[in-house]
């Protein structure tokens, strides 16, 4: 398996523009997570999905952020309009469903999308 695939790896945009980050989770994984990493705040969970359904979006900073998972193999994180304070590395991660005797528990991360908003 190719692992979690994120695109783009780097994005530079101007304030006010729309940004769309994409993620392809590992096939067969039931959970998908979006994290944001900054120097100031470390790793923050933005939102996560279970079987394509958003479960907890309490970490999404504000209404400018939205995330979708139209099917089991694709998710997007959209920022509209973007602001300089959104500059960060955004990580997507996936994990299989937890099973009491055989669950692994760990998340598998993509390489991240580095966003710079000027």
Which residues sit at the interface with other proteins, rule CB under 8 A? 4, 31, 33, 42-43, 45, 48, 50, 55-56, 91, 93, 98, 103-112, 114
**Considering the complex, what minimum distance in angstroms separates the CB of residue 90 from other proteins?**
11
Q: How far is the CB of 85 from other proteins (least distance, A)?
A: 19
Q: How many CA atoms lie within 13 A of 106 on its CB side?
A: 2
Nearer to other proteins, 19 or 48 (CB): 48
Instruction: Determine the Cα–Cα distance for residues 73 and 25; give it in Å rounded to an integer.
Output: 6
Closer to other proteins by CB, 81 or 87: give it.
Answer: 87
Q: What are the distances in angstroms from CA 46 to CA 14, 55, 92?
A: 22, 11, 10
Distance CA 98, CA 46 (A): 21
Distance of closest approach, residue 30 Cβ to other proteins, in angstroms: 10
Q: Which is nearer to other proteins, 17 or 104 (CB)?
A: 104
Q: Report how far residue 38's alpha carbon sits from residue 29's, in angstroms, rounded to the nearest whole number.
A: 26
């Amino acid at each position: 398996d190719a692992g979690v695939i994120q695109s783009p790896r780097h994005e530079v945009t101007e304030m006010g523009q729309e940004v769309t980050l994409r993620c392809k989770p590992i096939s067969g994984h039931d959970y998908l997570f979006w994290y944001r990493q900054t120097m100031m705040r470390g790793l923050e969970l933005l939102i996560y999905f279970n079987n394509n359904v958003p479960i907890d979006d309490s970490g999404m900073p504000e209404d400018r952020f939205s995330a979708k998972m139209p099917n089991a193999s694709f998710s997007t994180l959209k920022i509209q309009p973007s602001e300089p304070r959104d500059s960060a590395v955004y990580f997507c991660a996936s994990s299989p469903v937890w099973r009491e005797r055989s669950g692994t528990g760990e998340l598998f991360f993509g390489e991240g999308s580095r966003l710079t908003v000027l």
